Amino acid sequence: MLQGLYSAAAGMSAQQYRMDATSNDLANVNTTGYKHQRVAFRDLLYVRDGEPGVHIGAGSAAATIGRSDAQGALQRTDRPLDVAIQGRGYLEVRTPDGATALTRAGDLQVDSQGRLATPNGALLTGVRPVPNGTDLSKVSIAQDGTVSAPGANGTPVALGRLRVVDVQSQDGLQSIGNNLYAVTADSGQPAVVNDARLEQGALEASNVDTGTAMTDLIESQRAFAMASRAVQTQDQMMEIANGVKR
């Protein structure tokens, strides 16, 4: 009887995990470059019960199996420092603590030292600082990531090339907040994408489908409620059993 209680409780925990992941997706539906989490369920330990071939399971558990790599819709902003990646790849950045991270969010800005950075201060790699006094509306970002700014005589001067990289397994990337991902042993080391295509004056929207996310959330809530009722039923059965014993 306790096995049924444990299985129902495990189901509640799994559905709570799914609800948390789906709620996080909905909270980031307007976050630039956000990729929704993919959640899967797995069986917990099965143990032999009595007769050969008869096994009782301990319920299920949920786990994140990575993030969807589906392309988000491109939204025109016509802002010179906005850039969207078409296809696979990430912008390589360096966080304030010196660590290397990856991001799909291309809403860039120029810091006090003229360096291209994300809104949270992570610096883009591969590009020199924009010269002081440069008209930012004249900054150009080519499809291959080459950044140019007008020189003293108006001739464009190349400042470098944004590093667009990719990993062997995107599911292995670890989210570290602020729309950034850290490379792990499971993801593999980043490699430069030589044929990357960037679009200036556009941003990639989140790839969260609101309708699907709401359906998943309601489904998880119903499943959680059913598992909760199962726990209550098991408790009532144990109460009856204890009463019979007395």
Residue 5 is predicted with a pLDDT of: 76
Residue 1 is predicted with a pLDDT of: 52
Strands (E), the chain: 37-43, 46-48, 55-57, 60-67, 74-76, 83-86, 90-94, 100-103, 109-110, 116-117, 123-124, 140-141, 146-150, 156-161, 164-166, 174-177, 180-182, 191-192, 197-200, 202-204
Report percent pLDDT > 90 for the chain.
Answer: 59
**pLDDT classification of 79: cutoffs 50, 70, 90:** very high
pLDDT at 50 over 70: no
Residue 246 is predicted with a pLDDT of: 60
Question: For the ranges 87-91, 107-111, 169-173, which has the lowest average pLDDT?
Answer: 169-173
Question: For the ranges 63-67, 196-200, 238-242, which has the lowest average pLDDT?
Answer: 238-242
CA distance 30 to 179: 12
Question: Looking at the whole model, is its pTM more than 0.85?
Answer: no
pLDDT at 45 over 80: no
CA distance 56 to 65: 26
DSSP state of 137: G
Instruction: Tell me the mean pLDDT in the region 73-77.
Output: 94
pLDDT at 35 over 70: yes
Residue 93 is predicted with a pLDDT of: 96
Which DSSP string corresponds to 148-160?
Answer: EEE-TTS-EEEEE
Average pLDDT in the chain: 88
Q: Which pair of structure tokens corresponds to residue 90?
A: 């990430």
Question: For the ranges 53-57, 123-127, 168-172, which has the lowest average pLDDT?
Answer: 53-57
pLDDT at 142 over 80: yes
The dihedrals phi and psi of 122, each to the nearest 5 degrees, come to: -75, 130
- Pairing outcome for strands 90-94 and 156-161: unpaired
pLDDT at 2 over 90: no
Instruction: Tell me the mean pLDDT in the region 34-63.
Output: 75
pLDDT digits 0-9 by tens, 159-186: 999 999 999 998 889 989 889 999 999 9
Residue 20 is predicted with a pLDDT of: 94
Residue 56 is predicted with a pLDDT of: 63
Considering 40-44, 223-227, 233-237, the range whose residues carry the highest mean pLDDT is 223-227
